[in-house]
Amino acid sequence: MELQHIVYGVSPKLSPAPSIPIGKQLFSLKPHSLLSSSHPSIQSQNFEVLSGAYYPINIAKRGGCYSSRRRVWCSSSRDIADPNEGHEVRTQVTGRRKKLAVFVSGGGSNFKSIHEASKRGSLHGDVIVLVTNKSECGGAEYARNNGIPVILFPKAKDESDGLCPNELVDTLRRLEVDFILLAGYLKLIPVELIRAYERSIFNIHPSLLPAFGGKGHYGMKVHKAVIASGARFSGPTIHYVDEHYDTGRILAQRVVPVLANDTAEELAARVLREEHQLYVEVVEALCEDRIVWRKDGVPLIRSKENPNETY
């Protein structure tokens, strides 16, 4: 099967931009402007800084220190082991804008929030491709209307144009995707993609994980379960994606109240408002390389205003 059959919605307005081949088909992407900025020195803590997709390649020198897996070590901390203890390193934001792939199965309201934030310049990244298991869903329609290529994944019995996992990995790598953002994507992510993009795939879930997560807990089902349990609080969770549903490390959460007379629809609307804000804030941090790791493997976000603070 030729890969050109799975790319949809190319905008003719983008034709002057450089073309990138996928199989025998060419489609155009928006040009990415180069930015240069830097973070102040981190003097109090020692973290591993995530930068882009976690490919199995060696980085000879990055940010003034040597690394084999994109690790940048800062000054010593009691909580994190440092092979270069006492050696202060100044971290820098990568000059180029990050390339984002968003996965959706439905209306894609979080996808739209991220894309709009990119267009207005509040995050240093661009959504360059949309992946969906439903080619006619609202998120796919929005992508086509905005000149964003759409890929169908996984293959379905009634669809002839879908990709298998290895084809999807190859395509995303060819596009040089840095981060994968799940935004209402209801299929389990294949192990091939998780291994290719270690620590670079994120999902948003409409409850405070680990509560009300796992297979079968999605959409309105989650909010009905929260209300039925008597829980007084709920809210969105953004977490890293592993090989199971909703079990990856939690990166960010936001709390909303569950009111005494709430319906599932009212609670869903309240949570969704927070989702739109939280996901954009997290993607901003990703694009600015502000994700750091505690020694115990818990990811934290470094404050943009005060790099010595994490949350």
- Active-site residue list: 205
CA dist., res. 3 & res. 23, Å (int)? 5
- Is 193 within 8 Å of 180 (Cβ atoms)? yes
Q: Mind giving me the DSSP string for the chain?
A: --GGGG-B---GGGTTSPEEEETTEEEE-----B--EEPPP--S---EEP-S-B-S---S-BTTB--SSS----S--SSS--TTTT-----EE-SBPEEEEEEESS--HHHHHHHHHHHTTSSSEEEEEEEES-TTSHHHHHHHHTT--EEE-S--TT-SSPPPHHHHHHHHHHTT--EEEESS--SPPPHHHHHHTBT-EEEEESS-TTTT-STT--THHHHHHHHHHT-SEE--EEEE--SSTT-SPEEEE--EE--TT--HHHHHHHHHHHHHHHHHHHHHHHHTT-EEE-TTS-EEEB-SS-TT-B-
Side-chain half-sphere of 279: how many Cα atoms within 13 Å?
31
Whole-angstrom Cα distance, residue 188 to residue 242? Answer: 9
Residue recorded with tokens 């395509």: 171
Handedness of CA 256, 222, 301, 295 (dihedral sign): positive
Question: Torsions phi, psi of 220, nearest 5?
Answer: -65, -25
